[in-house]
Amino acid sequence: MREYLDLVQRVLQNGQRKSNRTGVDTISCFAEHYAIDLSKGYPLVTTKRVNFKAVLHEVLWYLSGEDHIRNLRKHTKIWDAWADEAGNLETAYGRYWRRFPSAQVNPATGHYEVKEIDQLGEVLNLLRTNPNSRRMVISAWEPGNALFSKLPPCHYTFAFNVQGDRLNCHLTQRSGDIAIGIPFNIAAYSLLTMAVAQETGFKPGFFSHTIIDAHIYVNHLEGLKVQLQRTPKPLPTLTIARKPLDTLEFEDFELQGYVSDEPIKFEVAV
């Protein structure tokens, strides 16, 4: 996928070396952006093997609204490093997508009461009733949580936008690990966009992505240079069963025609 390789190349050419909380320096750029046309195929990176099963399990976990990884870790360990021994996770994206705590004043008492908002549910309703709305925004950033979370949300807000018969999604990410995280983010949010489009009667449009701190860990440099020497292969297709979004299961997704180069081992910075 050329958009991803172009991102790697820009950061390698223009990035500055920075220290960070992990102790492993990065090569970093500010406010990188790209857009991918989802009508051309499902954008699963082909210049290395990406674990699609883990991507899919992660998205289904987001949709569940769970604030723990006890079910997710049966299928993938990608969140284990940030959860406690019981599997509880301070930063559970799906919790905020489906159950965002909103403090509202009760007129009868004058006191604040917390009401949980299903942000994704509200967006689905707008897509059905007012698709030209410019308010189809979902946030995973809750300031109180971010103060103490071991890893506050990286991909913290996204918005849907309809143009004609196509549904587009724009993701804003405060911090993006280009070697490991970004291929997962591309695959996850593109899958979500395709599923939401099908649910609401639209065709998939563009997945657009802004990364505020787009970075490459210095111990990932050699692996990414290997990727840059590889030629992207044709994108696979993704078929999703025509079922309500909240009833979709792992078996309802079929990836077809995914051909990739060999995996490249990158160490995760915790």
Of the candidates 181, 137, 186, 139, the one whose C-alpha atom is nearest the C-alpha of residue 33 is 186
Q: Where are the domains of the chain?
A: 2-256
* Dihedral angle over CA of 213, 38, 120, 58, nearest 10: -70
Taking 70 as the pLDDT cut, the residues of the chain under it are: none
pLDDT in tens, 233-257: 999 999 999 999 999 999 999 999 9
Residues 177 and 217: beta-carbon distance below 8 Å: yes
> What Rg, from alpha-carbon coordinates, does the chain have?
19
Question: Is 154 a catalytic site residue?
Answer: yes
| pTM for this prediction | 0.95
What's the per-residue H, E or C state across the chain? Answer: CHHHHHHHHHHHHHCEEECCCCCCCEEEEEEEEEEEEHHHCCCCCCCCCCCHHHHHHHHHHHHHCCCECCCHHHCCCCCHHHCCCCCECCCCHHHHHHHEEEEEECCCCCCEEEEEECHHHHHHHHHHHCCCCCCCEEECCCHHHHHHCCCCCCEEEEEEEEECCEEEEEEEEEEEECCCHHHHHHHHHHHHHHHHHHHHCCEEEEEEEEEEEEEEEHHHHHHHHHHHCCCCCCCCEEEECCCCHHHCCHHHEEEECCCCCCCCCCCCCC
Report the alpha-carbon distance of residue 142 to residue 156 in Å, rounded: 9
- The CATH code for residues 2-256 is 3.30.572.10
Side chain identity, residue 180: I
Report the alpha-carbon distance of residue 128 to residue 119 in Å, rounded: 15
Q: Which of 1, 89, 124, 154 is catalytic?
A: 154
pLDDT in tens, 179-235: 999 999 999 999 999 999 999 999 999 999 999 999 999 999 999 999 999 999 999
What is the structure's pLDDT at 62?
97
B/e letters for 36-53, b = 16+ CB within 10 Å, e = fewer, are bebeebbbbbbbbbbbbe
What is the structure's pLDDT at 126?
98
Q: For residue 99, what are the contacts with CB-CB under 8 A and spacing of at least 6?
A: 65, 67, 116, 117, 118
What is the structure's pLDDT at 52?
97
Side chain identity, residue 93: Y
Our measurement of the distance from residue 211's CA atom to the centroid of its chain's CA atoms, rounded to an integer in Å, reads 12
